[in-house]
Chains A and B, each alone.
Chain A
Amino acid sequence: MAEFLFYALSIAAVLFGIGVISAKQPLMCVLSLLGSFVCLGVIYLLAQFQFMAAAQILVYAGAIMVLFLFVVMLLDLGNVEELKENSMRILGKKRITVAVVVAGGLALTSLLGTRDSMASAGPEPVVVRPDAYDPVAEIATLLFTRYLLAFEAAGLLLVASMVAVMVLAKRQREPLSDQR
């Protein structure tokens, strides 16, 4: 049952991914992305990464999706988007071929590379016993001990990006310009 669910969700995630890159309207693109996130979240749950599933749904399907939807709604892209974007005809065969080859090559390399490198042992694995398995506590312990520096750097990154967003999205005050 779980296997069937995994494959069904995989197919759904891929279909939503195709929806993301082929959607005509940005809104449909963002909603397809949401579908893909939710499918992946359920896959994480099936693979017993409960914490990651929760983070996926909260951060991706919640926060990031709200940001995307907010921007799409704010900018009223419906009217702007008529213009000749529509990829396939304008872009020309050459560009599409190059893009497909690059994408396929990268995907294949990532697949083979990760498979081979993961087959080896890797950095000393942190393994916990299943009977004492408390994913959140274990992940938190790891974050605050072995990866403390990375964790603090990540916090710094978040603060920096927050400030950057405020600076970027702030309306520029030009005293003599007209009110937009």
Chain B
Amino acid sequence: MNVPPEHMLVLAAVLFGLGVLGFLLRRNVIVVLASVELLLNAANLSFLAGARMHSGPDGFNLLGPVFAVFVILVAAAEAAVGLAIVIALYRLKQTVHLDQVAELKG
């Protein structure tokens, strides 16, 4: 594939923007968590684009994939804990609407 890595970066930036938008605008906690996953995916894509940018005909750069592995790992942990919190929240308040969960608001 001869696509320049910059185009992968553009795709990552667009996905990142969409993730931020969903995170800020939506109030359903499931959608918010899905937006966070989108953000992490965009970060992954940038890491891999960077790895491509630094691999030439004489070799592949491996730092990008290694960091992407860590991002995937953190994403898995985050999704598990986040969704467990959603279940606990639903059991407590029967809602997944973030505006109805504002006890900590000062």
Tally of contacts, chain A with chain B, CB under 8 A: 260
Q: Select one of A49, A75, A158 contacting B76, CB under 8 A.
A: A158
> Which of A49, A51, A98: most chain B Cβ within 10 A?
A49
The B interface is mostly helix, strand or loop, or mixed, namely helix
Report the bound CA distance from A18 to B83 in whole Å. 22
Contact (A111, B9) CB under 8 Å given A68-B30, A143-B69: yes
Q: Select one of A3, A51, A85 contacting B2, CB under 8 A.
A: A3
Report the bound CA distance from A56 to B72 in whole Å. 8
B63–A125 CB distance below 8 A: yes
B63–A20 CB distance below 8 A: no
| Shortest distance from the beta carbon of B102 to any chain A beta carbon, whole Å | 15
B88–A168 CB distance below 8 A: yes
B83–A68 CB distance below 8 A: yes
| A126: chain B residues within 8 A (beta carbon) | 61-63
Report the bound CA distance from A85 to B28 in whole Å. 7
| Shortest distance from the beta carbon of B48 to any chain A beta carbon, whole Å | 5
> Which of A17, A67, A126: most chain B Cβ within 10 A?
A17
Residues of B within 8 A of A (CB): 1-3, 5-22, 24-28, 30-31, 33-35, 37-38, 41-42, 44-46, 48-55, 57-66, 68-70, 72-81, 83-88, 90-91, 94-97
Given A106-B16, A139-B69, 14 additional A-B pairs, CB 8 A: A13-B11, A14-B14, A17-B15, A23-B31, A47-B52, A99-B24, A122-B63, A126-B61, A127-B60, A127-B61, A130-B60, A165-B81, A168-B84, A171-B91
